[in-house]
Amino acid sequence: MDTFASVLQQIKSPADLKQLSDAQLLDLCGELRAYLVSHVTETGGHLASNLGVVELSVAIHQVFDSPKDHLIWDVGHQCYVHKLLTGRQSQFDTIRTPGGLSGFPKRTESDHDAFGAGHSSTSISAALGFAEADRLSGNDAFTVAVVGDGAFTGGLIHEALNNINKDLPFVIILNENEMSISPIRGRFSDHLAKIRHSPRYHKTKKATRRFIRRIPLIGEATFRGIRRVKQSAKNFLYNSNYFEDMGLYYLGPIDGNDFVTVRDMLKEARSERQATILHIKTVKGKGYGPAETSPNEYHGILPGNKPAAYNFSAEVGRLLCERAKQDKTVCAITAAMAEGCGITDFAARYPDRFFDVGIAEEHALVFAAGLAAGGMRPVFTVYSTFLQRGYDNLIHDIALQDLPVTVCIDRAALASGDGPTHHGIFDVAFLGQIPGIPLWAPADFESLSRALTDSLDSGHPACIRYPNAKPLDEALFPYGEYPFRRNFPDGIQLDALIVTYGRIAEEALAAAVQLKSEGITCGVLLCEQLLPISAPADALAKLVGNTDTPILVLEEGIKTGGLGMMLREALHDRAMPNRLEIAAIEDPFAASEKGRKLIATMGIDRTAVAAKVRKLLES
């Protein structure tokens, strides 16, 4: 690995870049690209997006002065080169591992990470906050936001643009690579294409700027007047663009993989000391043939570049295609995550009933509500962590109006690689507060099929949650009937009972085996319907009757407001005397510990579960 790091090894901080010649900087870009390919194909992570921003990252750090100047990345997964240039080379092999570097900017990790960004479209709002804070405190720092064109499909970006003070030293770099994770769709993407294919516009812009700058400035008012005249003339002759209509100074588009051009345009943007858009065009996966050819496949890769296993996401896509073949009202919606949510085949087979709304989860849910009110049966597939953004819309637009929208909640579990920004551990707690939305947690594909069928047939809102994992073996829970299955037969005398759901059920079973070796008979109840809470509460009441069998609720979700707390209240209302304890996540933002599985850090692995059962029995 060190064979291609002759320049890279010299870089201990961004200040070192300022001592390099152009030739050395170009060599550095090549070394960084080789380094990324060598490391990320082994460790896993986001490869294609980082290969595309090598030249940009080097140029930013040569022109600006981090950490005095604030650098914000959106989405944050394109920050790997930034990390390598800011003193974290020696730790890079630990990226996305327990106790290692985060795959996103993280404020507690480095002073050079100005703002954490695991979700999309937050950058301009945050950057504007930095810029205004500097103005108020008299700090002359710049704020630079690197924004992928996928992020520009999120409404939050445009709310922030509408609020920008154009006199702030604020640079927005629009990184257009024509890909977010799924191909970009929408009016904004179409507008970028129009700008990109208008060379006459840009020639006129440069000539006009040169002419105006030769006129001696007679005060700020005169300068602004000239700018207004220029804008009016340009609008008349060539039309304006979106950013200039908002009063922002616009540069580009330029080749974002041409280091010298990018560096020179960043210097130009810096010299303006005003809110400036620099529009660059990069190649996602640049310099690595497989990633250039298939950027989707190399957006996020597994360690060793192993192929992903067939999982719940893929099965949801297959089931939706089957249902859509018979039911013309079934529609599929995604927020720029068709590939991750397994519905690319649906998009190909039923393009008129497939909607990719861009990175706009709030809009997706209200749009789904409108489709449902219009007689369709929409299914919104979304990661658990991103569904959090649409909480208001679930309440106000779907539940309150009892509209038949089905939400398929993907990645509903801890996210070991991506970390706290992507943990899918809040959905059970926040959905439990919304009346009228049942929640299913299928553990295998047969249960998934039943849950999806029941949801679409119900004529009401429904949610189905599942992890990024293979299904549990049906044979592990041979007793009982869907949606409440168990690993023990009728009539057995239990010393304790573990109630659980989702993939963490494997840890419950392992704990039960461990306890059995100690002479403790511990059964496991698998709940595949979590809400309304009366369903699991009634199943539990029927199972344990009026005995005092102690119960441990194990969940890969937050403790506060989770299934355990809801069950405790429901059992109390039924006057059941059982002692009930909860093994759940009490610190959802806890840092993972080096050398430990994340579930162990969170206190919900088999060892912790067995210990809690023993404690229950001793009390």
Give the CATH number, domain containing residue 514. 3.40.50.920
Q: How confident is the model at residue 294 (pLDDT cuts 50, 70, 90)?
A: confident
Active-site residue list: 284, 361, 389
Q: Say whether both 397 and 452 belong to one domain.
A: yes
Average pLDDT over residues 97-126: 93
Residue with the two structure tokens 């449902």: 372
3-state helix, strand and coil shares in percent for the chain, rounded to the nearest 5: 45, 15, 35
Average pLDDT over residues 466-478: 95
Q: Say whether both 30 and 161 belong to one domain.
A: yes
DSSP one-letter code for 475? G
Q: Say whether both 447 and 519 belong to one domain.
A: no
pLDDT score at 221: 56
Name which residue leads in pLDDT, 593 or 182.
593
- Asked if residue 237 has pLDDT above 50, the reply is no
Of 465, 493, 516, which residue is a domain's last?
Answer: 465
Helices within 438-531 (DSSP H only)? 445-458, 505-516
pLDDT score at 300: 82
Say if 225 falls within a structural domain.
no
Average pLDDT over residues 146-157: 90
CATH at 282: 3.40.50.970
Q: How confident is the model at residue 224 (pLDDT cuts 50, 70, 90)?
A: low
Q: Say whether both 459 and 529 belong to one domain.
A: no
Of 146-155, 488-497, 580-589, which gets the smallest average pLDDT?
146-155
Of 436, 465, 494, which residue is a domain's last?
Answer: 465
- Asked if residue 305 has pLDDT above 70, the reply is yes
- Asked if residue 55 has pLDDT above 60, the reply is yes
Q: How confident is the model at residue 243 (pLDDT cuts 50, 70, 90)?
A: confident
Interstrand relation of 439-440 and 529-531 (parallel, antiparallel or unpaired): antiparallel
pLDDT score at 79: 95
- Asked if residue 167 has pLDDT above 50, the reply is yes
- Asked if residue 111 has pLDDT above 70, the reply is yes
Name which residue leads in pLDDT, 281 or 245.
281
**Domain span at 153:** 2-196+246-291
pLDDT score at 188: 54
pLDDT score at 236: 47
Average pLDDT over residues 413-439: 96
- Asked if residue 231 has pLDDT above 70, the reply is no
pLDDT score at 180: 45
Q: Say whether both 353 and 458 belong to one domain.
A: yes
- Asked if residue 522 has pLDDT above 70, the reply is yes
Average pLDDT over residues 347-360: 96
Say if 234 falls within a structural domain.
no
Q: Say whether both 431 and 511 belong to one domain.
A: no
Say if 471 falls within a structural domain.
no
Say if 417 falls within a structural domain.
yes
| CA separation for the pair 56, 46 (Å, rounded) | 17
**Average pLDDT score over the chain:** 90
Q: What is the Cα 356 distance to its own chain's centre?
A: 16
Name which residue leads in pLDDT, 204 or 85.
85
pLDDT score at 197: 43
Q: Say whether both 278 and 341 belong to one domain.
A: no
| CA separation for the pair 168, 128 (Å, rounded) | 9
Q: How confident is the model at residue 213 (pLDDT cuts 50, 70, 90)?
A: low
Say if 33 falls within a structural domain.
yes
Tokens describing residue 229: 């005249």
Sheet of strand 406-410, all strands in order from the earlier edge strand to the far edge: 354-356, 330-334, 377-383, 406-410, 462-465, 439-440, 529-531
Q: Say whether both 82 and 166 belong to one domain.
A: yes
Say if 239 falls within a structural domain.
no
Q: How confident is the model at residue 173 (pLDDT cuts 50, 70, 90)?
A: very high
pLDDT score at 252: 87
Say if 100 falls within a structural domain.
yes
Helix (H) or strand (E) holding 348: helix 344-349
Q: Say whether both 429 and 526 belong to one domain.
A: no
- What is the DSSP track for 46-90? --HHHHHTHHHHHHHHHHS-TTTSEEEEESGGG-HHHHHHTT-GG
Interval 595-606: pLDDT, tens = 899 999 999 999
pLDDT score at 333: 98
Of 236-240, 494-498, 544-548, which gets the smallest average pLDDT?
236-240
pLDDT score at 548: 86
Of 465, 492, 518, which residue is a domain's last?
Answer: 465
Residue environment code for 302-319, b if the CB has 16+ CB neighbours within 10 A, otherwise e: eeeeeeeeebbbbbbbbb
- Count of domains observed in the chain: 3
pLDDT score at 473: 95
pLDDT score at 241: 77
pLDDT score at 472: 96
1 close to 35: Cβ distance less than 8 angstroms: yes
| CA separation for the pair 252, 408 (Å, rounded) | 40
Q: Say whether both 399 and 486 belong to one domain.
A: no
pLDDT score at 389: 96
DSSP one-letter code for 603? T
Say if 214 falls within a structural domain.
no
Average pLDDT over residues 240-268: 90
pLDDT score at 187: 57
3 state DSSP class of 581: strand
Q: Say whether both 328 and 393 belong to one domain.
A: yes
Interval 357-379: pLDDT, tens = 999 999 999 999 999 999 999 99
Q: Say whether both 85 and 174 belong to one domain.
A: yes
3 state DSSP class of 537: helix
Q: What is the Cα 12 distance to its own chain's centre?
A: 30
| CA separation for the pair 520, 512 (Å, rounded) | 8
- Asked if residue 509 has pLDDT above 90, the reply is yes
pLDDT score at 391: 97
